Amino acid sequence: MNNINYNIEMEKIIDKNKKEGLKPKLLMQVCCAPCSTAVMYRIKDDFDIDMFYYNPMIYPRNELEKRTRQVEILANRMGLTGKIIVPENKLTDFATIAKKRKDLPEGGDACYDCYELRLEEAAKYASENNYDYFCTTLSISPYKNSKWINEIGKDLEKIYEVKYLYSDFKKRNGYKISIDLSKKYDLYRQSYCGCIFSYKEMQEHKEKLNQESKDN
């Protein structure tokens, strides 16, 4: 499936459901509240959506708690009525991926595995709890590989027998809209993806910028 416009694929699914008078039940794996803003705003009228906050790689753990709370704040401020499901986010779930990630930059093979880890947990839950679809907010970020995300979703759809909602939420200015909505709802916007390695990379980048400003 090369050069697929996953945004158009999603719109086809939505149009088909509308014509059939359906409002399917969707489990949305949310990576964070800011990314969820534009996603929920765009499709909340087309699906009955529950948010699934499974991101076991988040470091440090108080950051996990902070981000989880922001999802609750977002739901309240947007008037979302679906459930917020927070399974156990065990750091050990990320252990095997961490061994690979420590030697690779963000966006490499370890990130593929991290997408798969989170999407598979969502697919399992969706299958076990009679959802019509599962999806993720991850594709709204310009730093995330939408092709990988959708290919993983397609594979998991076959394994768990629950439909994956193809999507590329960064299309139609999704990322910019998420920034604007995050400001509107006064949400905390984190400065790194989540794992200890992205945290360290963020710190190193800050130190480099500070040093450059001193040198100038």
Residues composing the chain: 216
User: What strands lie across the sheet with 25-29, from one edge to the other?
Assistant: 84-85, 48-52, 25-29, 133-136, 163-164
| Full-model pTM | 0.94
pLDDT(180) > 80: yes
Q: Which residue, 132, 138, 119, is CA-closest to 17?
A: 132
Domains of the chain with bracketed CATH = 6-215 (3.40.50.620)
What pLDDT score does 168 carry? Answer: 98
DSSP letter for each residue of 121-186: HHHHHHHHTT-SEEEESGGGSTTS-HHHHHHHHHHHHHHHT-EE----TTTTTHHHHHHHHHHHTT
Q: Say what the pLDDT of residue 104 is.
A: 76
State pLDDT tens for residues 132-173: 999 999 999 999 999 999 999 999 999 999 999 999 999 999
Q: Can you give the pLDDT at residue 169?
A: 98
Query: For residues 166 and 190, what is the distance between their CA atoms, to the nearest angstrom?
Result: 26
Contact assessment for residue 23 and residue 49, using Cβ atoms and an 8 Å cutoff: no
Region 101-120: what's the mean pLDDT?
88
CB atoms within 10 A of CB 115: 21
pLDDT at 79 (0 to 100): 97
The percentage of residues in the chain with a pLDDT greater than 70, rounded to a whole number, is: 99
